[in-house]
Structure 1
Amino acid sequence: MRSNLSYKSAFWIVSLAIVLAKIAFVFRPELDLFTEEAQYWLWSKNLAWHYYSKPPLVAFLNYISTSIFGVTELGVRINPILFGLGTAWVTYKFGSYLYNEKVGFWASIFLQAMPFWWMISSFHTTDTSLTFFWSLTVFLLYRALKEKKLNWWILAGFAAAVGLMAKAMMVLAFPFLFLFILQEGKLGKKWRNMLLFFLVMSLGFIPILVWNFQNDFNTFKHLANLAGAGGGNEESTASLGKSTAQLFEFLGGQLAMLSIFLLPILFYSIKSVFKYRNQDKFYLILPAILTLISFSFLSFFTEVLVNWPVFSYVGLPIIMSEWVLNQSSKWKKLRNWGLGISIGIPLLLILPDLTFVKSIPPIKKGEKQLFRRMSGYDPLAARVDYLQDSLELSDSFVFSETYHMASELSFYLKDHPQPYMLNMGARRNQFDLWDGMEQFLGQNKDGIFVSWNYDSPGKFAQFDSLLYEEKFEVYFRGEPLRTATIQVWKDLKEFDPYIPETY
């Protein structure tokens, strides 16, 4: 780094350049919200203490951001952009605090080169704010351990409490802290501070406990089902071959989340931690070890999504940065190439086709598959709006068989109406806890059914008559993507949705 450019300035130059690229991604006209993002936005129209599967923070953040920027893609995605930048800043500050600004700068670049960071900082999911508050909590706890000031324990507790309102995974902060202090042999000296941290952190449990007490503890049943302890008729045990495949699929996914181009540096930097038994580096790596072991074990019994443990990886870039700065020029060259490729690939994917490289048929086909679940909803909603006007459907309701479609339609329809989900075989979700289509029985209202998968509501919802039907094809960059069924039905007569037995 040249002497006339500080590492702090370099951090902001690189990070803000990436922010601008992500804003350009938001405004790509052929791409819509990811379906989970649309669902979390819909929650913001129905604010609550908690939701079926997640705590309330994601909904409240969407409520605030869309109140400022409007119900737009930017109004939703400004959250991951800012929280991603915040996570990178915490990494820079942590690395600088532990070592120096040079380590902090390169640590932030390593972080921003990792696919998991691109995922949590591009799409607004619960992992977005969880990762930020986890990194902030871990940093504040480290300062509490080193500086022996009570205020750091309290601040860390508040950061963890907010993190709990992002995602329940934040609870792992306490066992991580306990195990680190235990192996240091300082439990006797630190237990009062640990208790204070836990008590402050526990404030974050209030929303989940209040809501679940009022709603038959649905979230706890849902989490138990995800962990393989759910009831129902589904097979509860898997074959050894399937279990092994799930484990290796999970582990392979974790390597991909950390970037295959950075794996040599990651491997040797982790190896050095165990070789020299440095406590500072062990503190950074312990969360990743604990979560990876825990979820690897769980993946042997049930499906574990690739994103579940990624929040705990934020300490790894600091270890990698410090290690490689003490190596030969060959390692630094490998670092530069690895970082360049790891950042260049996502930039190529998210930016508009400025160079026409993405117009090459194989690349265009790959991009079409990659963004399949993020395309077609805006024009589909525009078509539904048009039909409502042309058919003079002044008092109609919109429904689909999935919460994905229902949420996307609500976001893109001009008046953002509350949508409805007709369960035709899906697991429980937030729609099961809201008022459903049963309220329209015998009310002589028109229902608009929209689906990628079904030709009609079938036996699950019987209407007086079919007023209109069409197949609507959506496109991705001029090429056919998929076809939706749109039906307008008159007067709901019978309502018999599928009742799932599992959570």
Structure 2
Amino acid sequence: MALSAAASSDAGSQESHRFWRLFLWLTLGITVIRLAALFVTPLELYPDEAQYWLWSRDLAFGYFSKPPMLAWLIALTTGIGGDSEPFVRLSSSLLHAATGLILFRVGARLYDERTGFWGGVLYLLMPGVQLSVGIASTDAPLLFFAALALWAYVAFQARPSARTALFAGLALGGAFLSKYASLYLLIGVALHLISTPSARAGWTPMRVLAAATGLLVVAAPNLIWNALHDFSTVSHTAANANWNVADLFHPGEALEFLVSQTMVLGPVPFAAILIGAGLAAARRFDLSPSDRLLLAFVLPPLILVFIQALLSRANANWAAVAYTPAVILAAAWLLRWHAFRWFMGGLAFQIVVAVMVLVFGAWPHLADRAGLGSSFKRVRGWEVGTTRILDAAEALGPGTVIAADDRFLYNSLAYYGRDRLSGPDAPELTMWVREAHPQNQAEAEDPLTVDQGHRVLMASIEGRFRHEFEADFVRFDGWTDATVRLDPERTRDLAIGIGEGFAPQPRDPETGLPVPVSPTRP
């Protein structure tokens, strides 16, 4: 009997190591392919990515619209390899690979190695991850630290200790420095502790203090930075809610958010979450303790962001912290239901999406031929546009100031003009401030001033504010077209003009917007 038990244990251990080794090799292979595509693609930085790069040149504990983690990561990777696009984006691929490995361990601890393996595979092939690995965004560090915090919380439930509680707090702090949506994790902890009395047993006052200390030690610098900067990041994040009391019902936006989750998480995993949660709510499905724990972290962001979409609008990735526990829970339920065909069908869909994103991202001309060029219009044409604007500014001679009328244009000029703008006689790059108060970091830190406004090369994108832009100058010589072709079908509307005598018109004290003016200044 003893020999039989030992043999069974050895077989189980070998099976466990087999799943782990297979997942390690799979993660390595996928990551190498993604990194190759990252260094091959001709696609340029999206203006938000250029903004994050700009932040990384001046490290701080906070920035106008985001916490600092992504800027720190970009400073690290560009410090190693230089400022080219692949090194700006490098951390995303590496963090997503690490997140998959952590999720394997979460699934293995909560269920078994088989569940950990398939949950990790669902994550690595998640459509949202395919898009995220190719860009520099706050979602990659958020999901990494969220997975780390989830792993620590699960480990604490198995073996409570002050050390594990401290680690969970530190990981949550890292998620907080990545994106404020990390606060959904605290709601998940609260929901789990309320719904599962046995989960509260390990949380002695000392362990609660350890977790709180870990969180506050990491988060405090950003909180202090916000306090010293009028809570600009907090205010910007809150403003994204954009509630209008007179118009608080948008079923179309809510439906669009739900549909978007099928394309971010994957249709089969998302359907499994909805079906399992619905059956559990109807008491037709018994939840295991592990199910309850994961569901406590999955539901709050999905439900709260759905409500936000119903009241106003919501981006698909606003519920991102739900995805790390969701892939494990979806894998566990699909395996328990023996829904193997559905599982494989969902994975097949995700593999097709992954291959398409990789191929079209590496060779976007193939996307043009397939009629999908519009998907890449925001990551094309910025370098050409920058060259045209800087050529015009340098032709005006020393002392010229460039003023952009849009933060996207400003950020792209800063990145793609980084070498030319750093010269001793280079034109100075500024941002025209449209409203009474800054609405982004460019407006806050590099506003065009009256002292700079003797001769200004005005750079405008899309033409939305050109009328107001030129009205802020005593003299203006008209616009010159600088349109950039993005692909065979699309262009970006750019224009430049010379303004003299910058003298901003009044801004409405209530709306902050420019007071309406006639086309030409009297």
* TM-score band w.r.t. shorter chain: 0.7 to 0.9
Q: Does 1:337 align with 2:329?
A: no
Report the CA distance shift for 1:277/1:214 in structure 2 as closer, same or farther (over 3 A): same
Structure 2 residue 331 is matched with structure 1 residue 321:
yes
1:381 equivalenced with 2:390 (yes/no) = no
Q: Secondary structure at the match of 1:6?
A: helix
- Equivalent residue in structure 1 for 2:305, among 295, 299, 302: 295
| 2:518 equivalent in structure 1 | none
Residues 1:49 and 2:58 aligned together: no
Q: CA deviation at 1:414?
A: 4.5
Bigger RCO (CA 8 Å, 6+ sep): 1
Provide the residue aligned with 2:86 in structure 1.
74
Identify the residue that residue 482 of structure 2 maps to in structure 1: 471
Residue deviations 1:189-235 (CA, integer Å, cap 9, x gap): 52522343123212233233222222222333333333346xxxxx5
- Deviation, 1:135, is 0.9
What amino acid is the match of 1:441? Q
**Given the superposition, is the C-alpha separation of residues 61 and 498 from structure 1 closer, same or farther in structure 2, using an over 3 Å criterion?**
farther
Distance between the aligned counterparts of 2:61 and 2:506, measured in 1? 27
SS in 1 for 2:486: strand
Report which stretch shifted further, 180-189 or 334-343: 180-189
* In structure 1, distance between residues paired with 2:376 and 2:341: 33
Label 1:227 to 1:23 Cα distance change in 2 as closer, same or farther (>3 A): same
C-alpha displacement of 1:350: 3.0
- What per-residue deviation string (whole Å, max 9, x for no partner) do you get for residues 253-310 of structure 1? 2233221244454455556766222111211121111111222222232222211112
SS for the counterpart of 1:441 is coil
Q: Is the 8 A contact 1:396 1:447 kept in 2?
A: yes
Letter in 1 for 2:376: F
Task: Write the distance in 1 (CA, Å) between the matches of 2:227 and 2:95.
Answer: 31
Question: Aligned AA for 1:88?
Answer: G
Query: Sequence identity, in percent?
Result: 19
State how far apart, in whole Å, the 2-side matches of 1:10 and 1:52 are: 43
Q: 2:203 aligns with which of 190, 210, 235?
A: 190
CA deviations on 1:157-208 (whole Å, 9 max, x unpaired) are 1111121111112223223212212222244652522343123212233233
Tell me the alpha carbon deviations over residues 41-83 of structure 1, each in whole angstroms, 9 at most, x when there is no partner: 1212233221122111111111121121211111111011111
The residue aligned with 1:453 is 463
What are the ranges of 5 or more consecutive residues in structure 2 without an aligned counterpart? 1-13, 422-427, 514-522
In the alignment, the residues of structure 1 paired with residue 397 and residue 467 of structure 2 have an alpha-carbon distance, to the nearest angstrom, of 19
Tell me the residue number matched to 1:128.
Answer: 140
Q: CA deviation at 1:336?
A: 2.2
Please tell me whether the aligned partners of residues 473 and 484 of structure 1 are also in contact (alpha carbons under 8 angstroms): yes
CA 497–64 in structure 1, closer or farther in 2 if over 3 Å, else same:
farther
Asked if 1:307 corresponds to 2:287, the answer is no
Distance 1:472 1:27, change over 3 A: farther
Cross-structure match for 2:496: 487
Deviates most, 125-134 or 252-261: 252-261
Q: Distance in 2 between matches of 1:466 and 1:36?
A: 31
**Alignment-mate amino acid for residue 373 of structure 2:** K
Report the AA paired with residue 486 of structure 2.
Y
2:9 match:
none
Quote the Cα distance in structure 2 between the aligned partners of 1:3 and 1:48: 47
Equivalent residue number for residue 396 of structure 1: 400
Write the distance in 1 (CA, Å) between the matches of 2:506 and 2:218: 35
- Separation (CA, whole Å) in 2 of partners of 1:294 and 1:79: 29
2:127 counterpart residue number? 115
Contact 2:182/2:321 (<8 A) preserved: no
State the aligned residue count: 486
Secondary structure of the corresponding residue to residue 64 of structure 2: coil
Superposed CA deviations along residues 420-458 of structure 1, whole A, max 9, x for unmatched, are 32244698122232131106435x454351423356763
The 3 A distance-change label for structure 1 pair 383 and 26 is farther
**Aligned 1:222-261 pairs, distance under 5 A:** 222-228=236-242, 235-238=244-247, 240=249, 243-261=250-268
1:355 to 1:458, Cα distance in 2 relative to 1, 3 A: closer
**Structure 1: how far apart are the matches of 2:308 and 2:326?**
22
Q: Deviations over 1:381-410 (max 9, x none)?
A: 233344455x26444343322111211121
- Alignment CA distance shift 1:475-1:28 (3 Å): farther
TM-score, length basis structure 2: 0.83
**CA distance change for structure 1 residues 451 and 441 in 2, over 3 Å: closer, same or farther?**
same
**Alignment match of 2:107 (pick from 95, 105, 115):** 95
- Sort the Cα spacing of 1:428 and 1:227 in 2 relative to 1 into closer, same or farther, 3 A: same
Question: 2:363, 2:91 → 1: CA distance?
Answer: 29
1:63 to 71, 75, 80: 75
Partner of 1:280 in structure 2?
290
Q: Secondary structure at the match of 1:309?
A: helix
Verify: 1:415 aligned to 2:419, yes or no. Answer: yes
Task: Report the more deviating stretch, 377-386 or 161-170.
Answer: 377-386
8 Å contact from structure 1 (residues 161, 200) kept in 2: yes
CA RMSD of aligned residues (A): 3.3
Structure 1 stretches lacking a partner, 5+ long: 230-234
Q: CA–CA distance in 2 between the matches of 1:31 and 1:406?
A: 19
Contact 2:386 2:417 (C-alpha < 8 Å) held by counterparts: yes
User: Is the alpha carbon distance of 1:191 and 1:272 closer, same or farther for their aligned partners in structure 2, counting shifts above 3 Å?
Assistant: farther
**Structure 1-normalised TM-score?**
0.86
Tell me, yes or no, if the aligned pair for 1:54 and 1:167 is still in contact at 8 Å. Answer: yes
Check whether the contact 2:166–2:211 (CA below 8 A) recurs between aligned residues.
yes
The structure number with the bigger radius of gyration is 2
Do the aligned partners of 2:189 and 2:296 also contact (CA within 8 Å) in 1? no
